[in-house]
């Protein structure tokens, strides 16, 4: 079965064979509303609630670089000279002794991603400690596999820990023999037992091609203090052209229709990977990724999605399997082979500084409760994670001796309630009205829709003394810094269980885009004030701007800079630090003035 906890799923044999092919070649070589409805409802509800609350070096060993005609820039003409490596290079899932490197070899001018017109391309890859490749430490040869859309992932082993490397690919036969890819840069993680002083993470999520440019990716790439880029979901969006662009499309994605088939998803990924800023972020930093819903369809759960109509769009599992195959082909992720009962959730260790557990919060979850019946929120039999993943996370926490337990978490963990209620004082009222015991949730698609499982995790944190958990989250197109309360209605007296850092979207629509008003408009301001007044453990909330969160993990504290851009509709925009926060183990998070 494709997923070990889903009895309805068929094997994704294409994804498996493609991944296995790449590995073999390498080893032989050295109410559940829509997200838009939720945002609108959240703004409206918060506004109503407010009344009641009163109130770099570019590759040099290559004949061309990202600025050459083979690589698209926002201003570049559509008709361009053909290059094999037009989607750039990437690296990911760094370990102390290995890292994945990635590229796609476009075999000829008619080889459009997903079209099935590709032919095998003979490639050589090299990894070196210097960008001139005078000190090559690993190399190999392989032929691309058209069944994997001519994408290539090489798991380069035998590397030194906490070491920077350069990598490249070159065509070794055929009409384009001698063409060389851009030179990528990557870095292995520290050795087990080492004591690194710091780790820089660019926390990112929610990049919508049509609704804005990707200036945030360029800023991550150029930030010398960033060691890894962590994408916690919505790397792409599945919608048809023009449907979810906010204030209007600034550029058109491919295909024009909604992504349903394997060919559709491949072409959508290929479109994204022509963006010069995204290419640069992949070229210069290793990525650690997980998916959220839009890699498949909006508000996805185990057996379906809000944005999937079986009558019009066919079998959900076939669509999901196609989406997963394209994801595994186009991203540098070391995923376990799913057809053998594997999973995307996994763990990374950065010496004794940080353990990072990347979660998959879509594959195993029950359907989110509908607002017309919120009683399932407190149902202890319902799960966001599934039992196997829950036990995996718990096992990682229990075995960890690191300074920090970090969780790559695609949807918000902190309760957002209107308002939080003291379960002891208001039990009779909540039972009578059918309201969840902690209060009315803002968005049941996030952990608020699975409050019983969240309370179980919070209890474990308290009982076992895990006072160093930090959730790193995306999904909701806004910036947040939060204490995770032990009991929402008893904060701060009942104490803090964890901290959460939520990054805004790279470009996907947020409040001002949805209500078609400027940034800092009255609706956004009322919503911000209302939610923070009601949820006092929300220390920072910014609804209107786009960007990412730069998270700097130190031995004594965690520092976060919210890096935002003022205008996403114009390319090549600078980012600035809008706010900075500091988190201390067992104490929570607070603003740095």
SS (H, E, C) 443-485: CCCCHHHHHHHHHHHHHHHHHCCCCCEEEEECCCCCEEEEEEE
**Neighbouring C-beta atoms of residue 308, cutoff 10 Å:** 21
Based on its alpha-carbon atoms, the radius of gyration of the chain, rounded to whole angstroms, reads 23
The pLDDT of residue 342 = 77
Walking along the chain (593 residues) 10 residues at a time, the average pLDDT comes out as 35 34 35 40 38 30 32 42 96 98 97 96 98 97 97 98 98 97 98 97 98 98 98 98 93 97 98 98 98 97 96 95 95 80 92 98 95 88 97 98 98 90 60 68 94 97 98 97 96 97 97 91 91 95 97 98 97 98 97 93
pTM above 0.85, yes or no: yes
Mapped onto helix, strand or coil, the DSSP state of residue 4 is coil
Strand 136-143 to strand 122-128: parallel, antiparallel, or no bridges (unpaired)? antiparallel
The pLDDT of residue 435 = 62
For 531-570, letters b (16+ CB in 10 Å) and e give: bbbbbebbbbbbbbbbbbbbbbbeeeebbbbbbbbbebee
Determine whether 387 is exposed, middle or buried from the number of CB atoms within 10 Å of its CB (0-12, 13-18, 19+): exposed
State CA 589 to chain mean position distance. Answer: 23
**Neighbouring C-beta atoms of residue 462, cutoff 10 Å:** 15
Mapped onto helix, strand or coil, the DSSP state of residue 246 is coil
**Contact (CB, 8 A) for 279 and 66:** yes
Question: Nearest 5°: phi and psi at 15?
Answer: -60, -40
The pLDDT of residue 593 = 85
| SS percent in the chain: helix, strand, coil, step 5 | 25, 25, 50
Determine whether 91 is exposed, middle or buried from the number of CB atoms within 10 Å of its CB (0-12, 13-18, 19+): buried
Which domains does the chain show, CATH number per domain? 13-23+32-53+66-591 (3.60.21.70)
């Amino acid at each position: 079965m494709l997923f070990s906890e889903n009895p309805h799923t068929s094997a994704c044999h294409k994804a498996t064979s493609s991944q296995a092919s790449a590995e073999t070649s390498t080893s032989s070589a050295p109410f559940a509303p829509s997200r838009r409805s939720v945002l609108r409802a959240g703004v409206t509800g918060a506004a109503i609630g407010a009344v009641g609350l009163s109130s770099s070096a570019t590759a040099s060993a290559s004949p061309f670089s990202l600025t050459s005609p083979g690589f698209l820039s926002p201003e570049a003409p559509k008709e361009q000279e053909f290059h094999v490596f037009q989607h750039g290079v990437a690296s990911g899932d760094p370990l102390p002794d290995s890292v994945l490197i990635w590229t796609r070899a476009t075999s000829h001018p008619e080889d459009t991603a997903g079209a099935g017109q590709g032919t095998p391309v003979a490639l050589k890859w090299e990894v070196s400690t210097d960008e001139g490749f005078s000190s090559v430490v690993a190399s190999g040869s392989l032929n691309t596999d058209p069944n994997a859309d001519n994408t290539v992932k090489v798991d380069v082993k035998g590397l030194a820990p906490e070491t920077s490397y350069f990598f490249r690919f070159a065509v070794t036969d055929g009409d384009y023999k001698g063409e060389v890819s851009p030179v990528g840069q990557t870095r292995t993680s520290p050795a087990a037992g080492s004591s690194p002083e710091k780790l820089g993470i660019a926390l990112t999520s929610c990049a919508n091609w049509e609704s804005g440019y990707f200036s945030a990716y360029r800023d991550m790439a150029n930030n010398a203090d960033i060691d890894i880029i962590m994408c916690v979901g919505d790397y792409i969006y599945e919608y048809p052209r023009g449907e979810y662009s906010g204030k209007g499309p600034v550029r058109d994605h491919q295909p024009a229709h909604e992504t349903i088939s394997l060919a559709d998803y491949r072409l959508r990924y290929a479109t994204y990977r022509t963006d010069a800023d995204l290419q640069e972020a992949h070229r210069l930093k290793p990525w650690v990724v997980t998916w959220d819903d839009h890699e498949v369809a909006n508000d996805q759960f185990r057996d379906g999605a809000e944005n999937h109509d079986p009558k019009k769009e066919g079998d959900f599992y076939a669509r999901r399997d196609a989406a997963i195959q394209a994801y595994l082909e186009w991203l540098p992720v070391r995923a376990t082979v799913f057809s053998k009962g594997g999973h995307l959730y996994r763990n990374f260790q950065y010496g004794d500084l940080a353990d990072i557990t990347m979660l998959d919060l879509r594959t195993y979850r029950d359907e989110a409760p509908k607002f017309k019946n919120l009683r399932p929120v407190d149902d202890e039999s319902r799960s966001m994670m599934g039992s196997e993943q829950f036990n995996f996370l718990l096992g990682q926490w229990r075995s960890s001796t690191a300074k920090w337990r970090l969780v790559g978490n695609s949807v918000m963990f902190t309760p957002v309630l209107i308002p939080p209620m003291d379960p002891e004082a208001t039990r009779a009222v909540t039972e009578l009205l059918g309201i969840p015991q902690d209060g009315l949730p803002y968005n049941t698609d996030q952990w608020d829709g699975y409050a019983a499982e969240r309370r179980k995790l919070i209890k474990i944190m308290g009982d076992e003394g895990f006072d160093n958990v930090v959730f790193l989250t995306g999904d909701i197109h806004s910036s947040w810094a939060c204490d995770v309360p032990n009991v929402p209605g008893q904060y701060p007296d009942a104490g803090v269980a964890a901290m959460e850092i939520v990054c805004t979207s790279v470009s996907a629509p947020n409040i001002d885009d949805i209500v078609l008003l400027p940034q800092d408009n009255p609706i956004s301001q009322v919503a911000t004030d209302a939610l923070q007044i009601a949820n006092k453990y929300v220390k920072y909330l910014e609804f209107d701007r786009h960007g990412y969160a730069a998270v700097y993990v130190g031995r004594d504290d965690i520092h976060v800079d919210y890096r935002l851009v003022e205008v996403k509709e114009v390319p090549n925009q600078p980012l600035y630090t809008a706010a900075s926060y500091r988190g201390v183990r067992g104490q929570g998070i607070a603003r740095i003035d």
